[in-house]
Amino acid sequence: MPVNETLATYSDYAFHSAVGIYLLAMLLHLGEYARTRVPAARAQVAVAAGAGAPADTGTHTDPADSGTQTDPEGSGTHTDPEGSVIPGVTPAGRPWPERFGRMAVALTVLGALVHVGSVVVRGFAVERWPWGNMYEFISAACLMAVLTWIYVLRRNPGMRPLGAFVLLPVEILLFLAGSALYVKPAPVQPALQSYWLTIHVTAVSLASGLLLVSGVASVLYLVRPYARGGGLLDTLPAADTLDRAAYRVTIFAFPLYTFAIICGAIWAEAAWGRFWGWDPKETVAFIVWVVYACYLHARATAGWRTGGAAWINIVGMAAMLFNLFFINLVTTGLHSYAGVG
Amino acid sequence: MTKAIRDAAGKPDPEQAGSVGIPEPGQAEPGVPKSPTQGAENPDSPTTDPPERDTPTPTRTPTRTPEPVRRASPGRLATGVSYLRNTWRGLVSMRTALVLLFLLALASLPGALLPQRSLNPAKITEYRRQHPVIGPVLDRLGFFDVFASPWFAAIYLLLFVSLIGCLGPRTLEYAKACRARPVATPRNLFRLPHHASAVLEGPPEDVLVSVRGQLRGWRTDVREQTGADGRTSYTVSAEKGYLREAGNLVFHLALVGLLIGFAAGKLFGYDGQVIVLTGGNQFCNSGILGYDSFNAGNLVDGTSLTSFCVKVNSFDAKYLANGQPEQYRSDIGYQAGADLDAGPDGPWHPYLLKVNSPLRIAGDRVYLLGHGYAPTFTVTFPDGSARTQTIQWRPADQATMLSEGATKFDRPGLPDEASRRRGQIAVTGLLAPTSSGGKVITSVYPGLLHPEVAVDVLRGDLGLDDGRGQSIFEVSQAQLASGALQRVARQNLLPGQRLRLDDGTTVRFDGVTQWVDLQISHDPAQAFVLVFAVLILLGLGTSLTIKRRRFWARIRPADHPGEPGRTVVELGGLARTDQAGYGEEFARLRGALLGAGCASGAGDAGVSEDDAGVDTERVPPGGTRDRGGSA
């Protein structure tokens, strides 16, 4: 099978662009936090007054006002018609943190589109589903995580302050994939030439992406109570919201992960002669499954419902990442498809 | 209400909830503090079961309940019984299940991190050499056979005992719950997370008809009550989402089935590997001895293997320029059933064996696991007699298929054993399918483009008769070390080239044949395992998506005597598991029954429409809860 080098190059360009765009989105999210870090009282005044202000923003461009602008850069202070100073309100009527946040989301969506392009073009370049090695798999899993994140945002815009925390692991993973783990596009070895590659790996990467989002939510749930007022953590959604989000995502991801493992077993039966053989990858997949089963049980056990369950969720995420990196790169097994080393 | 389901701080009673057998994953929406729904735990609670239910099941009882036991147990026997009973209750409790699950995950970890005998025994030898102190200890404790070790078995068996101990009563509970009437309407509907009321035109009977019409698909129960003034009021109880528990039970039962199927496969299944040279060589699955290696299930003695024969005609591999394999396939023929009676000359059914498409034949599967090269050497002895052998050499490097091996020859025509032993010959060394050329050769490409061998010819006593088994890929190192076997020549040979020994014996490299590594697998239970796996998935999906929810309506004539023909309707709703999404459904029902402008209470009660994250159900369905009288 020939590889279309031109398309492959375009795919790489798109990949790097997506990484750059995500980075920018993450920085904007951080900017959002930075601008939100004003004393709580002032912020509340600003929000209250901003909410009460007329929708018509014409008053803000009133020439009479321009003289009283206390912030020449217009980056956060503005006077309302009554003359009192409102921090954080721009001439456009939206506070800067809000603008940063919105820009970050817009860039995340753009990044996801470019990322989709990268994956699709890579698929056309190699004329197969583009998840045959670790670079491609991580790219796909991160794309799933970002798409999950966008979906969560659409359902619940209040989760937006989580943005940087979701994009951070995605950035790290993509950076690793694009640098240390990158492999040139090529056909895959015979064992991978099966339609199960599409089904099994799609399910695994989607479940991994979902569980990553869930794990991040649980981490934030655990640190949320340490917010001391006016700090970075205060911009996060309430602890309950985070915990519920983690749970909701997990109850969707867990059956999907189960499905992925079952597909893997069916494929293994055809490729390796047995449906389950305690290959290191299979073993850790089993461990991950058991840990998430623990999580669901903990949610129904007194004393474990919240804090304990969140810890288990994090252990599950760690086990999943361990399965992705350690098992692929360090141990040798039948899943050693990383294409590196 | 004798037992506080929650303590004052709104925390769940650990004993109560700790005894839940199977998780209700959605039931534990986190930490909303005290809320109006806690009133639901009152004697007129919606969670109170109908009066006819009165036997608490063992699984639901708290794990530590000394009081009733003490009362009933004066004797030693009774103490023992109570001890056993408490142990059993502890075992089937949710907390134990959680601990066992943890242990299961933890115990599996060495299976991924340490070399495992079932995967690669050679690695264990290496590990023991590198860790002379801890290696043998780990070996004795079973860390190299984690999944066959007694401690691993203990964990999963306890887990499954706990599971079954919980499933049985829970299934009975569920069967009862399915036949039971929906629970009576609580006295105060306004304490529920979702509630509404309105005064409607028309007599109660008309309203009742419309309520029942809206509740199609729900399990409903209508109770009539005649007041002191002779007027009749109605309460409607409705419940939905029974499939959730069914999914939960199916999921857990299917896990048991999966384990049984897995175990049956290990008992009755077998698999074996065999190397077959291409060019029409055959392998018949007639007995264990035909295999190079064979893993029999515990109940397989090898006498009744499925009869079939395979003939390997050719093998074809395609590689990319960098040596990465792109395709393996082998053209084979097979005979099974009646064909076998005709013998090797009978009909052979052709099959193209590839990596992802095994040959499925008579309940067995034939896989193409690997391939390699077998050099052909001809040794011509000084007396003119010649022997030709083609023996498989094993790949030393999978990337370039550089192979190593030993082809062993017995000198023919020697009368006495002693001289025969002196004259045995072994051709050992390396085979490069695509040789780098030069003095020291290596392989630069896995395909068979330019083969060359670098051989050592050994002569002497190979030690074949000493009663010990010998690898076909190596000569005995002991014989080499003792000097009984000595190197007499070292040379690189291209196909057709020969080398001459000091006594006039010649060794000719004739060429290279491909071989394939076949695996024959037999697992009579794997179809069952697949069925249970699918059931697991279905059960899981059902139990995680369907929500149990309850709906009540109280319909009574308006109190005002001056308003004949008007009816007061109160509605209440409660999700027994995950509250998410029930708000919309309740709002829809409310809108349909009361019209848009009615007095609604969901928001007023301080609980948001959607995530009213209240764990209303502290006790599992049908648990040890008080039989409070409901209206």
Q: Encode burial over A178-195: b for 16+ CB neighbours within 10 A, e otherwise.
A: beebbeebbbbbbbbbbe
For Cα atoms B333, B336, B338, give the angle at the middle one, nearest 5 degrees: 125
| Secondary-structure breakdown of chain B: helix, strand, coil percentages, each rounded to the nearest 5 | 35, 30, 40
The mean pLDDT of B204-223, rounded to a whole number, is: 88
The mean pLDDT of B60-89, rounded to a whole number, is: 64
Q: Is the pLDDT of residue B131 over 80?
A: yes
Cα→Cα distances A223→A233, A234, B129, Å: 8, 10, 46
Nearest to B25 among A244, A251, A283 (CB): A251
Question: A254 to chain B: which residues are within 8 Å by CB?
Answer: 540, 544
Q: Does the beta-carbon distance from A296 to B23 stay under 8 Å? A: yes
Tens of pLDDT, residue by residue over A113-130, are: 999 999 999 999 988 888
Q: How many CB pairs under 8 A join A and B?
A: 164
Tens of pLDDT, residue by residue over B396-411, are: 988 899 999 999 998 8
The nearest CA of chain A is from the CA of B304 a distance in Å of 21
Interface pTM (ipTM) of the complex?
A: 0.77
Q: Is the pLDDT of residue B47 over 80?
A: no
The nearest CA of chain B is from the CA of A147 a distance in Å of 21
Is-contact B574 B616, C-beta < 8 A? yes
Tens of pLDDT, residue by residue over B216-255, are: 888 888 988 887 777 888 899 999 888 989 999 999 999 9
Question: A239 to chain B: which residues are within 8 Å by CB?
Answer: 31
Q: Is the pLDDT of residue B631 over 80?
A: no
Q: Rounded to whole angstroms, how far apart are CA atoms B567 and B125? A: 85
Tens of pLDDT, residue by residue over B296-347, are: 888 888 788 888 999 999 999 988 888 888 889 999 999 888 788 877 788 8
Question: In chain B, which among 586-615 make CB contacts under 8 A with chain A?
Answer: 611, 613, 615
Tens of pLDDT, residue by residue over B479-510, are: 889 888 889 999 999 999 999 999 889 999 99
The nearest CA of chain A is from the CA of B317 a distance in Å of 10
B225, two tokens: 């009550």
Q: Is the pLDDT of residue B627 over 50?
A: no
Domain ranges for chain B, please list them: 54-178, 184-241+547-631, 252-369+520-534, 373-511
Q: Does the beta-carbon distance from B544 to A248 stay under 8 Å? A: no
Q: Which CATH class is domain B184-241+547-631?
A: alpha beta
Residue B295 pLDDT class (50, 70, 90 cuts): confident
Tens of pLDDT, residue by residue over B339-387, are: 888 777 888 999 999 988 999 987 899 999 889 999 999 999 988 889 9
B506-522 and B364-380: which strand pairing?
antiparallel
Q: Does the beta-carbon distance from B20 to A244 stay under 8 Å? A: no
Question: Is A302 an interface residue toward B (CB < 8 Å)?
Answer: yes
Tens of pLDDT, residue by residue over B509-531, are: 999 999 999 999 999 999 999 99
Question: A303 to chain B: which residues are within 8 Å by CB?
Answer: 12, 14, 18
Looking at residue A22, what is its pLDDT?
94
The mean pLDDT of B147-173, rounded to a whole number, is: 91
Looking at residue B350, what is its pLDDT?
93
3-class DSSP string for A150-180: HHHHHHCHHHHHHHHHHHHHHHHHHHHHHCC
Q: Is the pLDDT of residue B416 over 70?
A: yes
Q: Is the pLDDT of residue B440 over 70?
A: yes
Q: Does the beta-carbon distance from B320 to A247 stay under 8 Å? A: no
Looking at residue B107, what is its pLDDT?
93
| Closest chain B CA to residue A280 | B112
Other C-beta atoms closer than 10 Å to the C-beta of A289 total 18
Q: Rounded to whole angstroms, how far apart are CA atoms B42 and B188? A: 10
Question: Is B266 an interface residue toward A (CB < 8 Å)?
Answer: no
Q: Does the beta-carbon distance from B26 to A278 stay under 8 Å? A: no
Q: Is the pLDDT of residue B443 over 80?
A: yes
Looking at residue B423, what is its pLDDT?
83
Q: Does the beta-carbon distance from A255 to B540 stay under 8 Å? A: yes
Q: Is the pLDDT of residue B573 over 80?
A: yes
- Side-chain-side CA neighbours of residue B271 (13 Å): 20
Average pLDDT, chain B: 79
Nearest to B537 among A193, A255, A278 (CB): A255
**Helix, strand, or coil here: B293?**
strand
Other C-beta atoms closer than 10 Å to the C-beta of A247 total 30
Amino acid code (one letter) for A25: A
pTM, two decimals, is 0.78
Q: Does the beta-carbon distance from B97 to A297 stay under 8 Å? A: yes
Residue B273 belongs to what H/E stretch?
A: strand B270-277
Which runs of E-coded beta strand occur in B320-423?
325-336, 349-354, 359-361, 364-380, 386-390, 394-397, 402-409
- Blockwise average pLDDT, block size 10, chain A, 341 residues: 81 93 92 64 46 39 37 39 44 73 92 94 88 87 90 86 87 90 82 87 89 91 80 77 88 94 93 89 93 90 82 93 82 63 36
The mean pLDDT of B611-630, rounded to a whole number, is: 32
| Closest chain B CA to residue A296 | B25
| Closest chain A CA to residue B17 | A302
Question: Is A297 an interface residue toward B (CB < 8 Å)?
Answer: yes
Closest by CA position to A124, among listed A201, A197, A185, A206: A185
Closest by CA position to B254, among listed B536, B34, B499, B459: B536
Looking at residue A39, what is its pLDDT?
44
Q: Is the pLDDT of residue B102 over 70?
A: yes
Is-contact A326 A224, C-beta < 8 A? no
Q: Does the beta-carbon distance from A193 to B544 stay under 8 Å? A: no
Q: Which residue has the tokens 């005597």?
A: B561
